[in-house]
Amino acid sequence: MTTTHTPRNMTDQLGLLGLNPAIPEGVRALAEKSVAQTRQVYDTSSDAFDASVARFEKTFEAAGQNAAAFNRKIIDISRRNLNTVFDLATSLAGAKDLADIVALQRAHWQKQFGELESQAEEVRVLWTKIAADTVEPIKAHGSVGTVKAR
């Protein structure tokens, strides 16, 4: 005789052996409470994870925008320097003698050293801003994580 092992059949067999197959109310209540608490922890963790991803996305977005701003600044400085060189070349082409050439070059280099100093300051200021803008979301993320962990 083959018996099928269905859950109902097994429950009936336990009953025939004098065992109560019913799950006590307290165990069911505990299981329900555990599932609800686990779900709540999961939802909280999921929300925190989503917020972390959003912060990282903002950080990467800011870093990308800052990299583009830095590249634009370097290109702008390069263009200004090239324009200065073309202005010097134009002036040199119109020089009447060697004394004019030396005077034009001396004036160019005096002006250019001041420009290079100014350009270095522009890059330093921009780099400082970029560093602060890029690090700020990371700091905010770290402080939020620290606060939530407490």
Q: What region, left, alpha or beta, does residue 5 occupy, with left being phi > 0 and alpha being psi -120 to 50 degrees?
A: beta
Q: What does the alpha-carbon distance between residue 35 and residue 49 come to, in Å, rounded to a whole number?
A: 20
Instruction: Note down pLDDT in tens along the chain; length 150 residues.
Output: 455 678 778 777 877 887 777 778 898 899 899 999 998 998 888 888 888 888 878 878 878 888 888 999 999 999 999 999 999 999 999 989 999 999 999 999 999 999 999 999 999 999 999 888 877 766 766 665 555 544
pLDDT value of residue 144: 53
Tell me the Ramachandran region of residue 24: left when phi exceeds 0, alpha when psi lies from -120 to 50, beta otherwise.
Answer: beta
Residue from 127, 124, 115, 122 nearest 82 by CA = 115
**Can you give the residue ranges of every domain in the chain?**
60-149
The answer to whether the pTM exceeds 0.85 is no
Place of tokens 């979301």: 137
User: What is the predicted pLDDT for the residue at 66?
Assistant: 86
pLDDT digits (tens, 9 = 90+) for 108-143: 999 999 999 999 999 999 999 988 887 776 676 666
Query: How many Å apart are CA 33 and CA 39, to the nearest integer?
Result: 10
